[in-house]
Amino acid sequence: MPLLEPPPVGATALPAGTFDGATVLVTGGGTGLGKAIASEFARLGAAIVVASRKDEHLEAGRVALEELGAAVLTVACDIRDPDQVAGAVDAAVAADGFGLPSVLVNNAAANFPVPAEDMSPNAWRTVVDITLNGTFFCSRELARRHLAAGTPASIICVGASYAWTGGPGFAHSAAAKAGVKNMVETLAVEWGPYGIQVNGLVPGLFPHADMTADIRGNLDRTSEKDACQPALRVGRLRELGWAATFLASPYARFVSGHTLVVDGANWQRRTLTNPPVITVREQMGMGPFEG
């Protein structure tokens, strides 16, 4: 029997109006997991700032969130550039009905499957720059604003379970996400005395329409996706959003420096026997390395 299904779309994990008057900044909030997280904050009354590099993603996020009745501000931002990050926060502060975000969700990241021996230096730099450096630049900018103002804040960094285990086929992303996990723990200690919480949120398998072709192709090689999970089902997007709203809520004030894994125990799965090793290249349907 699989883990029970969650309440239906539209249900909330917290009391109505929990985030009334709050501004929540979600990087990469126009699509996929970021949009799902932003949607749950919107249902609870938050004004949402969506930051993304791509106009089409900003528009998709705006439409989806406005359908929920949320006030939405979209800001073009490449989180690799600290000046653009500062500009995004400035835009929120200046916009009517918004203001300095009290919640930051660091969701934006880069990722694609590739054997380490085939990975170009540029591919490595790009993924690390967006996933690790961008997350730090956003966290730093928000913290500096709140430190100066003497106001509390909550920062949530979306991570990955291979921060603990390693990620064959995703060496660039796994290394960056390991850095993000450590950064969560470090910043929580540094900024806790100033009323700033920092937590991590790790999703398991949450299929969605906005997956990149590379990631979807990798997933499509797995048959019977539900049967491959200890929960005997994949995650529902709203379950991840509910976890995010809890971490930033008044009900989690003493939770900081923690990374919450929402994956139905998948990352802890072990087998009693050692199955034959299948190389990353074989798993990706690739031939031998030819140099």
Query: What is d(CA 232, CA 226) in angstroms, rounded to the nearest whole number?
Result: 5
Task: Judge whether 162 counts as a catalytic residue.
Answer: yes
Annotated catalytic residue within 136, 137, 162, 246? 162
Pairing of strands 259-262, 103-106: unpaired
Cα 94 from chain centroid (whole Å): 26
Q: Alpha-carbon distance 142 to 3, whole Å?
A: 37
For the stretch 250-257, contacts whose Cβ atoms lie closer than 8 Å and that sit 24 or more positions apart, written own/partner, are: 250/18, 251/14, 252/197, 252/199, 253/197, 255/197, 255/199, 256/188, 256/192, 256/197, 256/198, 256/199, 257/184, 257/185, 257/188, 257/189, 257/192, 257/198, 257/199
State how far the Cα of 267 lies from the Cα of 25, in Å rounded to an integer.
28
Strands 196-203 and 153-158: parallel
CA distance linking residue 164 with residue 259, whole number of Å: 11
Please state, in angstroms and rounded to a whole number, the distance separating the CA atoms of residues 218 and 222.
8
Alpha-carbon distances of 3 from 33, 204, 230, rounded to whole Å: 21, 14, 9
Residue 106 CB contacts under 8 Å (≥ 6 apart), including other chains: 27, 134, 135, 138, 139, 155, 156, 157, 158, 180
Q: Shortest CA distance to 63 belongs to which of 29, 97, 105, 37? A: 29
Residue numbers annotated as active site: 162
